[in-house]
Structure 1
Amino acid sequence: MARFSDTRRWTRFTLTMVAAALFVCAAFLAAAYLLDPYDTGRSPLALKEGVRPQGPRTAAASRGRDPAFDSAIFGNSHVQLLSPERLDAATGLRFVSLIAPATRPKEVLTIMDWFLRHRRQAPKVMVVGIDWGWCTVDPALPNDKPFPFWLFSRSTAEYLVGLMRYDLLEEMLRRVGYILSENPARGRPDGYWNYEQGYRDQGYGRDPALLAKLQQHAETGGGNLEGPFPAALALESLMKRAPAETVLLLLRTPVYATGLPKPGTANAKADAACRSAFEGLATRRPHTVLVDWKKDRPELHDPDLFFDHTHYRQPVAKLIEADIAAAIGTVR
């Protein structure tokens, strides 16, 4: 009889602990949903706009739905130096930088979809940085760095599951501080992030070993000799959801001279095939233009204008911006 009584007590204790755990999880989830730590707009509460300074992977949820911007830059660090302010001045538009370093097409397309879903009016211009990652033959569009796909999901259930993370406890405390503060530090609304000082701090531009590495040949063609090019197809499919008058500007990002494919090589063939895939998209879709900076030009031979084979400096960024502004003028 005592043994049966002990079993009942343990059963009640277990059920009580499970119920308590479920209650705590539910309370945490409800609080996270209401506080909306990354300013996704899902909370029914009227919360302070923007987010605290943080990485662009999460900050893009807030920036991507900001109605102050009618145009956007998408991609990774290969378009990170493009300045929204300078493009605004050159075009009369309002750009936001929705870049995320070390991302590939799958992540970029996810952020583009988020941006499109949160436009009250037709976007004016969408600039997409096209690098070797867009040349993949893999239809899964694999990514090799963590990315919060759940944050941009169309599924509320997926978003709620994503909120159930240990690191969100700390983020929620920061969110409360941000909301309650009269003058909180806010992440830059236009998303611009100048990486130059970070590269200098790592020795780029003065370390002899890094300078010597810059003079070594690098393969940047993507390795896809004949296609298909699923990233180009996925981008074309996504843009069918955008208004026809939205300008899509495809920017083939520059590489240092030693990263340019050598004529007659398999690398050059792969690069040409990839370029052709995006040229086809530019031909088929109205108000679409390809700006190609991955071709031989004097600036690409100056080691003082590059940190490594694919990361250029401000003078190159300004030249690219001028080409972007000119190209926009031809298709608007």
Structure 2
Amino acid sequence: MLDTLRTGLTNWIAAKRGDAERDAADGARWRRFGKALFGTFIGGLAACSAFILIVDPYQVVPFSPPMPRPNIDTSQRHFYPAIIRHGNYDSIIVGNSMIRLFDPDRLDKTFGSRLANVAMNAATPWEQMQMADLFLRVKGPPKVMIVGLDHWWCDERADQPDRKLTIRAFPDWMFDDNPWNDFLYLLNGKTIETAARIVMTNLGHGRIRLQPNGFSVYTPPDDTYDLAAAQQRIWGDRPHVITPVTPPVVLTEAERTALRFPAQDWLNAILSREGDRTRTVLIWLPTHISTLPAPGSRDAAVEAACKADMDAIARRHQATVIDWRIDSALNRNDATFWDPYHHRLPVAQRIEDDLATALAGKDAADDGAWTVRVRGR
């Protein structure tokens, strides 16, 4: 009996000792695995960081090596600051997608300038003025500044947080004067992907989306234009008619005085900093008649007041204002547009030619497509 108990106790102690040894071995293996995993993570992080800092896809790293960095990304907000900082341009075009089809090379012949088109898709007036502000700080007053105007410049709530920005991320860290804080925002999947695409493009396996001056034809090829599809995008199922409001709304003096257009204050501040060295052209861009306020409506009266206030700012700074955002045969023609807001490439080229005509002294188009509201320097 004692022998049996002694044998059992010995076996139990041996089993416990074996369990402890196995636990110790398992613990050692897990520690080695943890160290390997941590080392792999740190090594991968270091490799990704080194890759980003060397390729420097957004050209914000002060010590990155020289290499071609084509503009391959669809996010103009991330690529355009580098065009301003590093490009050899003395003039800019700011606005949203409605002015992105303006070709700087064609306009340079009119202005004798080196224009960069840094208009951004869905850019709010506040974002546009951040681009103009960056140019002023980095390059000084531009020789020429062309600003594309639309209904957002008449938004009475333009300074509210939900109107100053869109769902597109705005990299304000790229627009400040401190390059060293940019590192905080570079280590992410999007930057790694962009850096990899730049490398692949340099190796001949990618597509350059933007020319060095920011220009691109972002609309489909014009020979694929489908009028019926465009009309569906423009009108939907609505009747193809514009109904005036009668009797027309007339703002009272109190209502007119109460109107405020915050975006115009931002533009006024930029123009004040330019001084008399910049030739500024403000262009109310063409838009389909269906998007304009109904004639006689309160919205039409507010827009008329907005345009009048913009004219006053232009006169103050000797800027030119040319208006394509009017009831005209051009804007009533469905075939002018891909959708309610975006005109076709031949229309953009016509506007470029007409702009030269207007600046040469003509006050209005023969077909009523545009009119010079204010003639500046």
Q: Is TM-score (shorter-chain normalized) higher than 0.5?
A: yes
In the alignment, which residue of structure 2 is the partner of 1:255? 287
The correspondence of residues 176-195 of structure 1 with structure 2, limited to 5 A, is 176-177=199-200, 181=203, 186=208, 187-195=210-218
3-state SS of paired residue (1:126): strand
Provide, for residues 170-200 of structure 1, a one-character-per-residue CA deviation record: whole Å limited to 9, x for no partner: 2222334456x49986441122222442688
Q: Is the 8 A contact 2:227 2:335 kept in 1?
A: yes
Percent of aligned pairs with the same amino acid: 26
The correspondence of residues 184-263 of structure 1 with structure 2, limited to 5 A, is 186=208, 187-197=210-220, 204-207=226-229, 209-210=232-233, 212-213=235-236, 215=240, 226-263=258-295
Q: Is the 8 A contact 2:311 2:321 kept in 1?
A: yes
In the alignment, which residue of structure 2 is the partner of 1:44? 63
In the alignment, which residue of structure 2 is the partner of 1:125? 144
| Alignment partner of 1:62 is 2:85 | no
Instruction: Select the residue among 290, 314, 325 that pairs with 2:356.
Output: 325
In the alignment, which residue of structure 1 is the partner of 2:366? none
Report the Cα distance in structure 2 between the residues aligned to 1:309 and 1:14, rounded to whole angstroms: 58
The correspondence of residues 1-332 of structure 1 with structure 2, limited to 5 A, is 25=45, 28-29=48-49, 31-38=51-58, 40-57=59-76, 58-119=78-139, 122-136=141-155, 137-139=157-159, 140=161, 141-150=163-172, 152-154=174-176, 155-156=178-179, 158-177=181-200, 181=203, 186=208, 187-197=210-220, 204-207=226-229, 209-210=232-233, 212-213=235-236, 215=240, 226-284=258-316, 286-326=317-357, 328=359, 331-332=376-377
Report the Cα distance in structure 1 between the residues aligned to 2:273 and 2:40, rounded to whole angstroms: 45
Instruction: Give the aligned residue type for 1:69.
Output: Y
Which ranges of structure 1 fall in alignment gaps of 5 or more residues?
Answer: 219-223
Bigger drift between 43-52 and 105-114 goes to 43-52
Q: Is the 8 A contact 1:77 1:100 kept in 2?
A: yes
**How far apart are residue 148 of structure 1 and its match?**
3.4
For the structure 1 residues 111 and 216, does the alpha-carbon distance in structure 2 shift closer, same or farther, using more than 3 Å as the test?
farther
For the structure 1 residues 14 and 288, does the alpha-carbon distance in structure 2 shift closer, same or farther, using more than 3 Å as the test?
farther
**How far apart are residue 327 of structure 1 and its match?**
5.1
In the alignment, which residue of structure 2 is the partner of 1:221? none
Q: Is the 8 A contact 1:107 1:147 kept in 2?
A: no
**How far apart are residue 79 of structure 1 and its match?**
0.8
3-state SS of paired residue (2:148): strand
Provide, for residues 65-89 of structure 1, a one-character-per-residue CA deviation record: whole Å limited to 9, x for no partner: 3443222211111112222222122
For the structure 1 residues 243 and 164, does the alpha-carbon distance in structure 2 shift closer, same or farther, using more than 3 Å as the test?
farther
Relative to the length of structure 1, the TM-score reads 0.78
Which ranges of structure 2 fall in alignment gaps of 5 or more residues?
Answer: 1-19, 21-26, 244-254, 361-374
Provide, for residues 200-237 of structure 1, a one-character-per-residue CA deviation record: whole Å limited to 9, x for no partner: 86x7523263464383659xxxxx97432111111222
Q: Is the 8 A contact 1:52 1:185 kept in 2?
A: no
Bigger drift between 91-100 and 138-147 goes to 138-147
Q: Is the 8 A contact 1:305 1:313 kept in 2?
A: yes
Instruction: Give the aligned residue type for 1:316.
Output: V
3-state SS of paired residue (2:118): strand
Report the Cα distance in structure 1 between the residues aligned to 2:165 and 2:42, rounded to whole angstroms: 34
